[in-house]
Amino acid sequence: MGKQFGDVLAEGQILTTLTGTKASSGDNELVAAPGALWRIVVSAFVIQNTTTTATTLILRSGTTTNGWSILAQNQGDGLAMNLGPMQAWRLGGNEALNLNLSGANTARYTIHYWLEKFK
């Protein structure tokens, strides 16, 4: 059986689930930069427009590297990805995970991630 949420992936790596909403135009920090020699690893996510206003939603590593995006034209539009541990999205070293919104419209998110030490 595969890893379950909250299981230890490797020494010091615990899968964490984060959920909430953001509504500020531009970058909204979801997970803070983890510190030197660490990076955030995303194994699954859902991002969804909760308004009736078309909004571009972009998950980003830091403030310059785009990861996943969608133009959510309607309320309820979004993107869901289950990447799993082998294809997980490894952000840049010591970079925050941000949700960039094209306008001040509410977006809902759920993120499954862990922290990984790298050289």
CA pair distance 43, 66, nearest whole angstrom? 16
Domains of the chain: 17-117 (2.60.120)
Q: Provide the residue-wise pLDDT of the chain in tens; the chain has 119 residues.
A: 344 444 445 666 789 999 999 999 999 999 999 999 999 999 999 999 999 999 999 999 999 888 999 999 999 999 999 997 789 999 999 999 999 999 999 999 999 999 999 87
- Least Cα distance to 45 among 12, 70, 73 occurs for 70
> Which pTM was predicted?
0.88
pLDDT at site 115: 94
